[in-house]
Protein backbone atom coordinates (compact mmCIF):
# COMPACT_ATOMS: atom_id res chain seq x y z
CA UNK A 1 0.00 0.00 0.00
CA UNK A 2 1.36 3.38 -0.95
CA UNK A 3 1.51 6.18 1.60
CA UNK A 4 1.93 9.89 1.11
CA UNK A 5 5.27 11.44 2.10
CA UNK A 6 5.58 15.16 2.61
CA UNK A 7 9.00 16.80 2.74
CA UNK A 8 10.53 20.12 1.83
CA UNK A 9 13.04 19.45 -0.94
CA UNK A 10 15.36 21.83 -2.76
CA UNK A 11 13.83 23.00 -6.04
CA UNK A 12 16.89 21.84 -8.01
CA UNK A 13 16.41 18.31 -6.68
CA UNK A 14 12.74 18.34 -7.69
CA UNK A 15 13.69 19.47 -11.19
CA UNK A 16 16.34 16.75 -11.39
CA UNK A 17 13.82 14.09 -10.35
CA UNK A 18 11.42 15.30 -13.04
CA UNK A 19 14.15 15.37 -15.69
CA UNK A 20 15.26 11.83 -14.81
CA UNK A 21 11.69 10.59 -14.95
CA UNK A 22 11.18 12.08 -18.41
CA UNK A 23 14.56 10.81 -19.65
CA UNK A 24 13.92 7.27 -18.41
CA UNK A 25 10.23 7.26 -19.30
CA UNK A 26 9.15 6.44 -15.78
CA UNK A 27 7.45 8.16 -12.85
CA UNK A 28 8.92 10.47 -10.24
CA UNK A 29 7.74 7.94 -7.65
CA UNK A 30 9.81 5.21 -9.31
CA UNK A 31 12.88 7.47 -9.41
CA UNK A 32 12.60 8.30 -5.69
CA UNK A 33 11.93 4.68 -4.64
CA UNK A 34 14.85 3.37 -6.69
CA UNK A 35 17.18 6.05 -5.35
CA UNK A 36 16.26 5.32 -1.72
CA UNK A 37 16.64 1.56 -2.17
CA UNK A 38 20.01 2.04 -3.85
CA UNK A 39 21.21 4.45 -1.17
CA UNK A 40 20.08 2.16 1.66
CA UNK A 41 21.79 -0.85 0.08
CA UNK A 42 25.04 1.08 -0.34
CA UNK A 43 24.97 2.28 3.29
CA UNK A 44 24.22 -1.24 4.56
CA UNK A 45 27.12 -2.64 2.55
CA UNK A 46 29.55 0.08 3.66
CA UNK A 47 28.64 -0.21 7.32
CA UNK A 48 28.23 -3.97 7.35
CA UNK A 49 24.65 -3.59 8.52
CA UNK A 50 22.32 -6.56 8.27
CA UNK A 51 18.64 -5.87 8.86
CA UNK A 52 17.95 -9.44 9.95
CA UNK A 53 20.82 -9.35 12.42
CA UNK A 54 19.56 -6.08 13.90
CA UNK A 55 16.01 -7.37 14.38
CA UNK A 56 16.75 -11.01 15.13
CA UNK A 57 16.12 -10.72 18.85
CA UNK A 58 12.86 -8.79 18.51
CA UNK A 59 10.79 -11.96 18.87
CA UNK A 60 13.01 -13.68 21.41
CA UNK A 61 10.85 -13.77 24.53
CA UNK A 62 11.32 -15.43 27.87
CA UNK A 63 7.67 -16.46 28.06
CA UNK A 64 6.02 -19.10 25.91
CA UNK A 65 3.78 -18.11 22.99
CA UNK A 66 0.81 -19.47 24.94
CA UNK A 67 1.61 -17.18 27.89
CA UNK A 68 2.00 -14.19 25.56
CA UNK A 69 -1.42 -14.86 24.03
CA UNK A 70 -3.01 -15.30 27.45
CA UNK A 71 -1.52 -12.04 28.73
CA UNK A 72 -2.81 -10.18 25.68
CA UNK A 73 -6.29 -11.69 26.05
CA UNK A 74 -6.37 -10.85 29.76
CA UNK A 75 -5.39 -7.24 29.07
CA UNK A 76 -8.14 -7.01 26.43
CA UNK A 77 -10.78 -8.54 28.72
CA UNK A 78 -9.78 -6.26 31.59
CA UNK A 79 -10.06 -3.18 29.40
CA UNK A 80 -13.51 -4.27 28.16
CA UNK A 81 -14.80 -4.84 31.71
CA UNK A 82 -13.44 -1.49 32.86
CA UNK A 83 -15.73 0.37 30.44
CA UNK A 84 -18.86 -1.72 31.05
CA UNK A 85 -19.50 -0.15 34.45
- Condensed to tens digits (0 to 9), the pLDDT of residues 24-83 reads 999 999 999 999 999 988 988 888 766 666 666 666 678 888 998 999 999 998 888 776
> 21: Cβ–Cβ under 8 A, 6 or more apart, which residues?
27, 28, 30, 31
* pLDDT attached to residue 58: 60
Chain mean position to CA 51: 12
Give the C-alpha distances (Å, rounded to integers) separating 64 from 60, 67, 70, 71, 77.
10, 5, 10, 11, 20
Quote the pLDDT of residue 19.
97
Alpha-carbon distance of 70 to 75, in angstroms, equals: 9
pLDDT of residue 59: 66
Global pTM value: 0.56
- Is the confidence at residue 6, as pLDDT, over 90? yes
Amino acid sequence: MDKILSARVDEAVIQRIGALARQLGTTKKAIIETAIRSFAQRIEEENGMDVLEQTFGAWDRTESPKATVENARKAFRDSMHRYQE
